[in-house]
């Protein structure tokens, strides 16, 4: 049994969990039936959706639990315990949302529905902490790539779950059934895979090669999903083809195990009592006695706890940049269906749009981690520069959507989705580098709270306000580009401001990153 418990098997298990846990990105699929079944107006729906975002980024508890469960001194389980706690919340949240929508229980008051949505969303920090932080620890020298892979599959999960929906329901389907599928299928998958997620604090010389293998697999899956979504949107697929295409997705998701087998075989072939593969034990990085002030000018501290991190300017620069980037990204995906409906998109087109968002989200998550790793190792480029660039791209995407031109929602969602996904890859990696890995989970998700704060301000106070202002009083609906134009111009300005804040972080940490690269190269 111990032979199969390697960091690569752990990575494969994490990939499966990430691939089925991104239900927050499919909210647009069932938001309309939630709105109609509960008799919500647009502002109330946006208010409820914010609790999904709050739950999805409130990771202080999951971060603390992870630190406790994986501590050499106090650990009593491992990352799987964190996953299990999230899994319980996942099932309870989605089951009661479904029960409310189909009338199994009486329509709950808005605060109670917010609780159901919060629980469903709050499972994500537990999954993400267990998988992302474990990947960062298991592959510490290529954290950007490893985190990018994990975050990338989370981005793809929206498209994967929608393919499951189409395979089970076919055609336009029934959104209520989709909610039930979310409650049942991911629960089963995650329960089976969570025991294999473990921490292995070693670095081997073959890591980059096998990580590249996982990267290729993720790109193949993304390309396949994009082809299927495009064909389904343009030509349509029969029920049997929808089922077959989803089965093929499952086979592709199993392919990371081939990387794990290959890595184990290579290690076995090279391992002998006198000839062991080059391995670096990185557990010393987690020793609090090794805390160092690496950059006295800007207070960069290895292995800071949350209070030490919050006392630095760098923490708040990251927080504000994420408030702008994640906040406007959340606001876009939460209102994607309503934007499409206002522009007379069909239900099939809307489902395709949400699926394609998952693809762009994946490309941003994976690409930002992979590309920033290359430029960091080869040219010593600080990662925050990519945060500034992608937030600038996000601003352009918001302007495109605001134009209301034909096809603008498709093209704008490409730019916004990729830029939004990039933040989820760059921010945790920057956090681990600037503040250390010991308390990464807690600090990472504390910064992530900026997302729902920005989402609330932009979804409820901006999008909801301006939509209801021009909507029909009879059925609270609006059609035409004027419904969301003002809101997206405001969000474009917010993204530009976030880009400027990230630029300040770039200049503050440039010397630190040069020393970080020199330190890694000297090992």
* 8 Å CB contact between 325 and 394: yes
**More confident call, 41 vs 184:** 184
Confidence check: pLDDT of 473 > 80: no
Work out the burial of residue 247: count CB atoms within 10 Å of its CB; fewer than 13 is exposed, 13-18 middle, 19 or more buried: exposed
- Please tell me the predicted confidence (pLDDT) of residue 475: 65
Mean pLDDT of 363-371: 86
Confidence check: pLDDT of 398 > 90: yes
- Lowest-confidence pick of 7-21, 43-57, 498-512: 43-57
Give the separation between CA 377 and CA 144, rounded to whole angstroms. Answer: 11
**More confident call, 205 vs 477:** 477
- Lowest-confidence pick of 110-124, 165-179, 281-295, 455-469: 281-295
58-76: pLDDT as tens digits: 778 888 888 888 876 555 6
Mean pLDDT of 242-258: 91
Report CA torsion sign: 455, 405, 364, 119: positive
Host H or E run for residue 487 = helix 485-521
**Tokens describing residue 428:** 């945790």
Confidence check: pLDDT of 290 > 50: no
User: pLDDT band for position 302 (50/70/90)?
Assistant: low
**Tokens describing residue 349:** 């087109």
Instruction: Write the CB contacts of 353 (distance below 8 Å, at least 6 apart in sequence).
Output: 28, 336, 340, 345, 409, 410, 413
Hey, which of 12-21, 150-159, 334-343, 453-462 has the most confident mean pLDDT? 12-21
Give the separation between CA 346 and CA 332, rounded to whole angstroms. Answer: 18
Share of the chain above pLDDT 90, in %: 29
* Residue linked to tokens 């106070």: 461
Confidence check: pLDDT of 299 > 70: no
174-223: pLDDT as tens digits: 888 999 999 999 999 999 999 999 888 666 667 778 888 998 999 999 89
- Please tell me the predicted confidence (pLDDT) of residue 52: 86
**More confident call, 474 vs 83:** 83
> First-to-last CA distance in the chain?
32
Mean pLDDT of 291-300: 45
Confidence check: pLDDT of 235 > 70: yes
- Please tell me the predicted confidence (pLDDT) of residue 74: 52
Host H or E run for residue 243 = helix 239-254
* Residue linked to tokens 């293998």: 213
Dihedral of the CA atoms 62, 64, 65, 68 (nearest 10)?
160
- Please tell me the predicted confidence (pLDDT) of residue 76: 65
Spacing of C-alpha 509 from chain mean position: 25
Confidence check: pLDDT of 15 > 80: yes
- Please tell me the predicted confidence (pLDDT) of residue 501: 95
Instruction: Write the CB contacts of 390 (distance below 8 Å, at least 6 apart in sequence).
Output: 325, 364, 368, 418, 419, 422, 423, 426
User: What is the DSSP annotation of 129-178?
Assistant: IIIIIHHHHHTGGGHHHHHHHHHHHHHHHHHHHHHHHHHHH-TT--HHHH
Average pLDDT, the chain: 83
Mean pLDDT of 64-90: 83
The structure's pTM equals 0.75
Angle at the Cα of 223 (from 381 to 207), degrees rounded to 5? 45
Residue whose C-alpha is closest to residue 85's, from 103, 61, 104, 102: 61
Mean pLDDT of 273-286: 41
């Amino acid at each position: 049994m111990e032979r199969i418990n390697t960091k690569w098997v752990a990575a494969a298990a994490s990939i499966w969990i990430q691939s089925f846990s991104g239900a927050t990105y499919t909210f647009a699929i069932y938001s309309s039936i939630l709105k109609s079944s509960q008799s919500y107006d647009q502002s109330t729906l946006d208010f409820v959706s914010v609790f999904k975002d709050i739950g999805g980024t409130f990771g202080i508890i999951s971060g603390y639990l992870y630190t406790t469960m994986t501590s050499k001194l106090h650990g009593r389980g491992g990352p799987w315990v964190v996953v299990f706690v999230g899994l319980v919340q996942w099932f309870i949240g989605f089951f009661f949302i479904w029960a409310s929508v189909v009338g199994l229980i009486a329509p709950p008051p808005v605060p109670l529905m917010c609780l159901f949505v919060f629980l469903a969303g709050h499972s994500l920090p537990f999954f993400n902490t267990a998988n992302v932080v474990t990947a960062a620890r298991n592959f510490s020298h290529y954290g950007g790539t490893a985190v990018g892979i994990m975050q990338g599959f989370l981005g793809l999960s929206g498209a994967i779950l929608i393919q499951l929906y189409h395979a089970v329901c076919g055609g336009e389907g029934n959104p209520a059934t989709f909610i039930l599928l979310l409650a049942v299928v991911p629960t089963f998958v995650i329960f089976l895979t969570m025991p294999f997620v473990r921490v292995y604090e070693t670095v081997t010389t073959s890591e980059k090669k096998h990580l590249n293998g996982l990267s290729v697999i993720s790109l193949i899956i993304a390309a396949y999903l994009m082809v299927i979504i495009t064909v389904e949107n343009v030509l349509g697929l029969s029920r049997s083809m929808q089922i077959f295409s989803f089965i093929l997705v499952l086979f592709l998701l199993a392919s990371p195990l081939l990387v794990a087998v290959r890595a184990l075989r290579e290690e076995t072939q090279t391992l002998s009592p006198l000839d062991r593969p080059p391995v670096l034990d990185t557990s010393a990085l987690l020793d609090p006695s090794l805390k160092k002030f690496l950059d006295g000018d800007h207070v960069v501290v290895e292995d800071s706890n949350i209070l030490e991190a919050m006392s630095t300017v760098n923490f708040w620069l990251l927080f504000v940049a994420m408030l702008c980037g994640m906040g406007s990204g959340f606001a876009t995906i939460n209102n994607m269906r309503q934007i499409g409906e206002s522009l007379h998109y069909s239900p099939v087109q809307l489902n395709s749009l949400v699926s394609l968002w998952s693809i762009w989200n994946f490309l941003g998550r994976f690409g930002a981690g992979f590309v920033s790793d290359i430029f960091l190792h080869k040219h010593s480029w600080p990662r925050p520069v990519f945060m500034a660039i992608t937030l600038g791209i996000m601003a352009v995407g918001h302007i495109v959507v605001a134009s209301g031109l034909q096809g603008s929602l498709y093209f704008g969602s490409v730019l916004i989705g990729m830029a939004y996904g990039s933040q989820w890859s760059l921010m945790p990696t920057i956090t681990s580098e600037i503040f250390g890995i010991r308390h990464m989970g807690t600090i990472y998700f504390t910064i992530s709270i900026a997302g729902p704060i920005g989402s609330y301000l932009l979804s409820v106070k901006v999008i909801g306000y301006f939509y209801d202002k021009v909507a029909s009083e009879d059925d609270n609906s609006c059609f035409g580009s004027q419904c969301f134009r003002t809101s997206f111009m405001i969000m474009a300005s917010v993204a530009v401001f976030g880009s400027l804040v990230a630029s300040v972080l770039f200049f503050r940490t440039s010397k630190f990153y040069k020393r970080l690269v020199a330190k890694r190269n000297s090992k």
